[in-house]
Amino acid sequence: MTSDSGRPVRYATVVIIALVLLSVLLPVADALSALGYFHEKTYLLVLQDNSELRNTGGFLACVGTIDVQNGEPTNLSLHYTSNSTYANSTNGGIIKIDGPQSFTDFYGTQLVQFRDMNVQYDFATFAPLCAAAYKELTGQYVDGVISLDFSALQELLKTTGPVTVGNDVITWRNVIDRVHYVSATATESSKTDLTAFLTELGNKLIATVQAADPVEKLLLLSTLQTLSQQRHLLIYAPGALPSGYDGAIQNTGGDYLYVVDSNYAGGKADLNVNRTITYQTHIEDDGTQTSNLTITYVNNCWWDYKVFTTALVPNGAQLLDARYSSQALGPLVTASDGLTTISSWVVVAPHSAANVTYTYTLPATAGSAGVFGHYDLYVQKQAGIDHYTLNTDVTLPHGAQVIHESNVGNGTVTSGDVQVEVIYR
């Protein structure tokens, strides 16, 4: 695990922008009205740095709370995940986790710091654990959890336009670099100046959003909805929202694939790493399958990219072979959430590509309706990743003829989930 003791102010700029935008926009979106538009609620707000990818979207950079009373945000409070709020707590800010087994077995521990506790495979599983840990560390109860990543911040600034703070013009193009620069140059003595900077930035953003005309507010709402679909904005609010906002595992019962990456000791590389998922499956005459999954990483950075990657596939999968093109450790086969998980640790050299290939068998996942066979594959996108390339190929049983197919082929660049379908007879 990397040490982040020098990051107490790294993410403050980003989190204040994200929190202000979300809180002001809550009354605008009907879908978000349950988050306090007609009630008083307190939410934990989490910023995940997706330039340093973790299972639920990114490194846990900052957390904060906000009360929402009849649609009005109040009592905004921010905390750094590396500061004394956690480090000086009774248990030293250490959280005991009960899985997933791929993490606890590979790293040989169930103890992690608060900032590193998002090892679960989806935000829907992580959020209540994070809320419980936050209550344990601070004594404060929250009604739900909202998360944004850096990509969400960029898209929001595309919609609102630049914001000038002091001598700095903050735009969607420079905001991430600006945050990292502040992180690298800020010291304890400069926190007062930084707080003043963030206050001015927050006030200008509030004014910008409140002054927006109806069309501009609709554009903001559309941006929020898109970010939610792409899992850059995640909301856990039990009983308040329909499914889909919390990034839950979408295991539909057919064939399923969910690749989850965590960057431990790989630096802030992920916004410059391209991913390609190639999935080929052969449906046997008895309905069972033999599948080949290749995950390829292209590292455009000047340092090694180190990634702990896990493929979630249907329950009952049996791994036959694992092949690596670079330095790697694995494979580790475990089970979680009714799925089989195959994990490896892979190193990708600077300005190069590396891949891991798994060959495994599956029990029958294709169904039938009368004389027709029906094969479905659901490919779920990890939160925090901007896009990936998907290649798919389905070989049908001997003598079968395709009646209809969708999303089968190579070179699909997507920023969301993909549903592959083949109907045959």
pLDDT in tens, 89-103: 545 578 899 989 999
Helix-helix angle 175-185:150-160, to 10 degrees: 120
295 assigned to some structural domain: yes
* Domain shared by 406 and 343, yes or no: yes
Q: What is the CATH number of the domain that holds 232?
A: 3.40.630
Q: What is the pLDDT of residues 262-287, one digit of tens each?
A: 998 888 999 999 999 999 999 999 98
Give the chain's domain count: 2
Instruction: Please confirm whether the linkage preceding 331 is cis (ω < 30° from 0).
Output: yes
Distance CA 137, CA 120 (A): 20
SS3 of the chain = CCCCCCCCCCCHHHHHHHHHHHHHHHHHCHHHHHHCCCCEEEEEEEEEECCCCCCCCCEEEEEEEEEEECCEEEEEEEEECCCHHHHCCCCCCEEECCCCHHHHHHHCCCEEEHHHCCCCCCHHHHHHHHHHHHHHHHCCCCCEEEEEEHHHHHHHHHHHCCEEECCEEECCCCHHHHHHHHHHHCCHHHHHHHHHHHHHHHHHHHHHHHCCCHHHHHHHHHHHHHHHHCCCEEEECCCCCCCCCCCCCCCCCCEEEEEEEEECCCCCCHHHEEEEEEEEEEECCCCCEEEEEEEEEEECCCCCEEEEEEEEEECCCEEEEEEECCCEEEEEEEEECCEEEEEEEEEECCCEEEEEEEEEEECCCCEEECCEEEEEEEEECCCCCCCEEEEEEEECCCCCCEEEEECCEEEEEECCCEEEEEEEC
Distance CA 187, CA 57 (A): 27
- Does this model's pTM top 0.85? My answer is yes
156 assigned to some structural domain: yes
Q: What is the CATH number of the domain that holds 386?
A: 2.60.40.1170
Q: Would you state the pLDDT for residue 71?
A: 56
Q: Would you state the pLDDT for residue 47?
A: 83
Question: One digit per residue, pLDDT tens: the chain, 425 residues?
Answer: 444 444 444 455 455 555 555 554 444 444 445 555 446 788 898 889 899 999 999 998 777 777 776 655 666 666 666 654 554 454 557 889 998 999 999 999 999 988 899 999 999 999 999 999 999 888 889 999 989 898 988 898 888 889 887 788 988 998 888 777 766 665 544 444 444 555 465 556 656 776 778 788 778 878 888 999 999 999 998 876 767 889 999 988 899 999 999 998 888 999 999 999 999 999 999 989 999 999 999 999 999 999 999 999 999 999 999 999 999 999 999 999 899 999 999 999 999 999 999 999 999 887 776 678 999 999 999 999 999 999 999 999 999 999 999 999 999 999 999 999 999 99
Asked which of 176, 204, 236 is the last residue of a domain, the reply is 236
Sheet holding 388-395, edge to edge: 318-324, 352-362, 289-299, 273-283, 388-395, 409-414
247 assigned to some structural domain: no
Tell me the β-bridge partners of 374: 367, 423
Q: Would you state the pLDDT for residue 65?
A: 78
Asked which of 201, 236, 271 is the last residue of a domain, the reply is 236
Distance CA 203, CA 19 (A): 12
Range of the domain at 293: 255-424
* Domain shared by 321 and 350, yes or no: yes
367 assigned to some structural domain: yes
**Mean confidence (pLDDT) of the chain:** 83
* Domain shared by 232 and 285, yes or no: no
243 assigned to some structural domain: no
* Domain shared by 56 and 163, yes or no: yes
